[in-house]
Amino acid sequence: GESVGLHLPTLSVQEGDNSIINCAYSNSASDYFIWYKQESGKGPQFIIDIRSNMDKRQGQRVTVLLNKTVKHLSLQIAATQPGDSAVYFCAERMTGSARQLTFGSGTQLTVLP
Amino acid sequence: DTAVSQTPKYLVTQMGNDKSIKCEQNLGHDTMYWYKQDSKKFLKIMFSYNNKELIINETVPNRFSPKSPDKAHLNLHINSLELGDSAVYFCASSQSRGSNQPQHFGDGTRLSIL
């Protein structure tokens, strides 16, 4: 079946380094993608989104890259800080799916001092 | 000033009981959702309501019954609780108008069945 998945379940980076979290999706009919951050005991928090007609979008310290050719999505976090430690989810929405999101399995990012 | 709020935050109960979780959003959104997150952090949609009408109903046991009294509220009632219902349940909301409308989540209700 079609699914959203992540290459790595865990990622550890040194404070100050850049982080890259990857996500593979298999549904070419998806038109909208979102990255969420979930801290312990909290709900998923919106970070950044991108539509399928774009290949890059930047926010504050974060950049999302979309490669539709290989169905790959990545989240880049610049100058990673201890507060960035969390589980990161990518989510996709298929065209005409009544706003339904399909979530990936999540990547645990740990920032080392 | 919480945007999406759920109550209770923790719910511990015996197998076979009936319980409800409440959700309210003050974002003015017209669509609300319930998700279940299992112990491996996998998030799966259960229900979605748009303007108080059910639009998504995934394969969920009919022991789970959502109710939307108005656009700002979506409650989840669960009958005859089972051990497998233990999970974190998240409420979310979004606006249906416009193409880029992310969902905003509450902080979850951790349900533990004894």
Interval B67-96: pLDDT, tens:
999 999 999 999 999 999 999 999 999 987
Å between A81 CA and nearest CA of chain B: 22
A101–B103 C-beta distance less than 8 A: yes
pLDDT digits (tens, 9 = 90+) for A85-102: 999 999 998 776 656 788
What is the predicted pLDDT for the residue at A6? 46
- Would the CB atoms of B44 and A103 count as touching at under 8 Å? yes
Q: Does B48 touch chain A (CB under 8 A)?
A: yes
Cα–chain-centroid distance for residue B78? 11
CB–CB contact B42 A103 (8 Å): yes
- Nearest chain B residue to A5, by CA: B42
Query: Strands B19-25, A45-51: parallel, antiparallel or unpaired by DSSP?
Result: unpaired
Q: What is the pLDDT of residue A108?
A: 94
